[in-house]
C-alpha cells in the first residue's frame, strides 16, 4: 500500500520531511563503472563503443554499422502504423508552434552617456539527443528533444538510441525524421554519452547533450559536464495530483498509474482534503492495476513510492507542501485550478483542471515533457529553445562615453590592485585628452 499521511497527526511533519528527502534511485554504486566506460570510450573511441554495445545490448556492431542509414530509417518508417505517424506529425506541429514562441529577442541600445550595450542570441553548433530505448522506447521524447534544438537553429542534431538485442522502435526513427535529426546512432548508455562528448572516429563530438536516461546515463552526463553542456541530471519521474473530491476517482487513479508505469522508481502523490475520496481513489487504483500490461512495474512504484496526503484545507495547506516537493508534474483536478496555481511557486509543469491529465502534456499539448525531477523544479525549468542557445553581450563607446565611465573603472581597478587593468583604461583617457 502507498504511504498515507494526515496533516492533523503529530507525526505528520516528520513523516512528510522523510518523503521530501527520499531518494528513489537504485542503490547500486554506478560511478565507478561509468568512470571506466567514459574513459575507455575517450581513449579508444569506436572500439570501446562496439565492446560496450556487445556487452550491454547484446548487439555486434562494426564502425560502419554504428549509424542508422537513410535506407534503414525509410524501411522502419514504412513499417509504422500510418495513424501513429499521423499522430506524431500532429504532435510535432503543436510542439513546434509552442516552442517557436520561446525564441528570445536580441538587445541593442545606447545609454544616456553614449555607451552602446546589448546582447545577441546564437545557437550551439551541435546537440546530442539521448532517447531511451531499453525498458520502454519513447518516440515522443525524440520530438521533445529535437524540435526545440531545430527551432533554436542548431545546425547538427545527433540522436543516440540503444537497441537491446538489435531491437529498435521504428516510431523513434520516424520521430527523428519528422523532427529533422541529422544523424541517428544505435548506441546507448554511458558509452553513448561519452561518444557524444569526446567524439570517435565515426561520431563527431557535440556541444550540448540533452535527454533523460537511467542511472548510468545520468552519471555519465554528470561526468562529462564541462566538456559539453547538459540539460540536467534527470531522476525518476513523478506526479503530484491535487484533487478536491469532485473529480472522478477512476480518472485520478489512472492518472496516478500513468506515472507509476514509467518505472518502478517513479512516484505518484495524491493530496486531497477528503479522506473518503482518498479511499475511493486507492480502491480504483487496485481495480485498474491488474489490467495494465506494465502492471508489475506500476505496482512496485505505487506500493514502494506512492503517497496519499490528507489535509484540512486545500487552499490553506497544500501550496506549501507542493513547494517543498517541487514536483516534476503538478496536476490540479480542481474547480478553479488557475487561482490555485497562482499560489504555487515550484513545479516543472502544471496541468489545469480535471480534463487535463499529465499524459496529454506528454504527447500533444505543446510544452516540453523533459522536466526537472527530484525537487530540482525549485531552481530549474523544463527543456526549451533557450537551452540550445547562448547569450553574448557586447559594448562599444566613443570618446564621450569613455570619458564618462572610464575614470570610475580606473578607480575600481586600482582599488582591487590590478594595475594593468587600470592602465589599459587610463592610457586611453590620456590619449583622448592630448589628442
User: What does R_g of the chain's alpha carbons equal in angstroms?
Assistant: 26
Cα 51 versus chain centre, distance:
29
* Beta strands 116-123; 389-396: pairing state: antiparallel
* Beta strands 107-110; 116-123: pairing state: antiparallel
**Active-site residue, from 305, 328, 358, 369:** 328
Give the three-state DSSP class for 104: coil
Tell me the three cell numbers of residue 417. 590592485
| Residue that is written with C-alpha cell 479511499 in the block | 279
DSSP letter for 397, please. Answer: -
99 included as an active-site residue: no
Tell me the three cell numbers of residue 224. 562529462
Sign of CA dihedral 350, 354, 358, 362: negative
Would you tell me how many other CB atoms lie within 10 Å of the CB of residue 156? 16
What is d(CA 358, CA 226) in angstroms, rounded to the nearest whole number? 33
155 included as an active-site residue: no
Would you tell me how many other CB atoms lie within 10 Å of the CB of residue 35? 14
**DSSP 3-state percent helix, strand, coil across the chain (nearest 5):** 50, 15, 35
185 and 67 Cβ atoms separated by less than 8 Å: yes
287 and 252 Cβ atoms separated by less than 8 Å: no
What is d(CA 34, CA 214) in angstroms, rounded to the nearest whole number? 12
- Phi and psi torsions of 209, nearest 5°: -120, 130
**Active-site residue, from 262, 329, 346, 369:** 329
Give the three-state DSSP class for 309: strand
* Beta strands 126-130; 116-123: pairing state: unpaired
Q: Which residues of 105-126 are buried (b: 16+ CB within 10 A; e: fewer)?
A: eeeeeeeeebbeeeeebebbeb
What positions carry a catalytic annotation? Answer: 328-329
Amino acid at each position: 500500500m502507498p504511504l498515507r499521511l494526515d496533516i492533523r497527526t503529530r507525526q505528520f511533519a516528520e513523516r512528510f520531511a522523510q518523503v521530501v528527502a527520499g531518494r528513489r534511485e537504485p542503490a547500486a554504486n554506478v560511478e565507478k563503472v561509468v568512470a571506466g566506460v567514459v574513459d575507455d570510450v575517450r581513449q579508444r573511441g569506436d572500439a570501446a563503443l562496439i565492446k560496450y554495445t556487445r556487452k550491454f545490448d547484446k548487439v555486434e556492431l562494426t564502425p560502419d554499422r554504428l549509424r542508422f542509414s537513410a535506407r534503414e530509417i525509410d524501411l522502419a518508417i514504412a513499417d509504422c502504423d500510418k495513424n501513429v505517424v499521423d499522430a506524431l506529425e500532429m504532435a510535432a506541429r503543436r510542439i513546434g508552434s509552442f516552442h517557436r514562441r520561446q525564441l528570445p529577442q536580441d538587445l541593442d541600445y545606447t545609454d544616456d552617456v553614449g555607451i552602446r550595450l546589448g546582447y545577441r542570441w546564437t545557437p550551439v553548433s551541435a546537440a546530442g539527443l539521448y532517447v531511451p530505448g531499453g525498458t520502454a522506447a519513447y518516440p515522443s521524447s525524440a520530438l521533445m528533444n529535437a524540435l526545440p534544438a531545430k527551432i533554436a537553429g542548431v545546425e547538427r542534431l545527433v540522436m543516440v538510441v540503444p537497441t537491446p538485442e538489435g531491437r529498435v522502435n521504428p516510431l523513434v526513427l520516424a520521430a527523428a525524421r519528422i523532427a529533422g535529426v541529422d544523424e541517428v546512432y544505435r548506441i546507448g548508455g554511458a558509452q553513448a554519452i561519452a561518444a557524444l562528448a569526446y567524439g570517435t572516429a565515426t561520431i563527431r563530438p557535440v556541444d550540448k547533450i540533452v535527454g533523460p536516461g537511467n542511472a548510468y546515463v545520468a552519471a555519465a552526463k554528470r561526468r562529462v559536464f564541462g566538456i559539453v553542456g547538459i540539460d540536467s541530471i534527470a531522476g525518476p519521474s513523478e506526479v503530484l495530483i491535487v484533487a478536491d473530491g469532485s473529480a472522478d476517482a477512476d480518472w485520478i487513479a489512472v492518472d496516478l498509474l500513468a506515472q507509476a508505469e514509467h518505472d518502478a522508481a517513479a512516484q505518484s502523490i495524491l493530496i486531497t482534503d477528503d479522506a473518503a475520496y482518498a479511499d475511493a481513489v486507492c480502491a480504483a487504483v487496485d481495480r485498474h492495476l491488474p489490467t495494465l500490461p506494465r502492471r508489475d512495474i506500476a505496482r512496485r512504484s505505487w506500493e514502494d513510492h506512492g503517497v496519499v496526503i490528507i489535509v484540512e484545507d486545500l487552499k490553506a495547506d497544500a501550496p506549501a507542501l507542493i513547494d517543498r516537493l517541487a514536483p516534476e508534474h503538478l496536476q490540479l483536478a480542481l474547480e478553479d485550478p488557475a487561482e490555485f496555481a497562482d499560489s504555487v511557486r515550484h513545479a516543472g509543469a502544471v496541468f489545469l483542471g480535471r480534463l487535463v491529465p499529465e499524459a496529454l502534456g506528454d504527447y500533444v499539448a505543446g510544452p516540453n515533457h523533459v522536466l526537472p525531477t527530484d525537487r530540482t523544479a525549485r531552481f530549474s525549468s523544463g527543456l526549451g529553445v533557450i537551452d540550445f542557445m547562448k547569450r553574448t553581450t557586447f559594448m562599444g563607446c566613443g570618446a564621450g562615453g569613455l570619458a564618462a565611465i572610464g575614470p570610475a573603472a580606473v578607480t575600481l581597478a586600482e582599488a582591487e590592485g590590478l594595475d594593468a587593468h587600470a592602465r589599459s583604461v587610463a592610457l586611453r583617457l590620456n590619449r583622448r585628452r592630448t589628442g
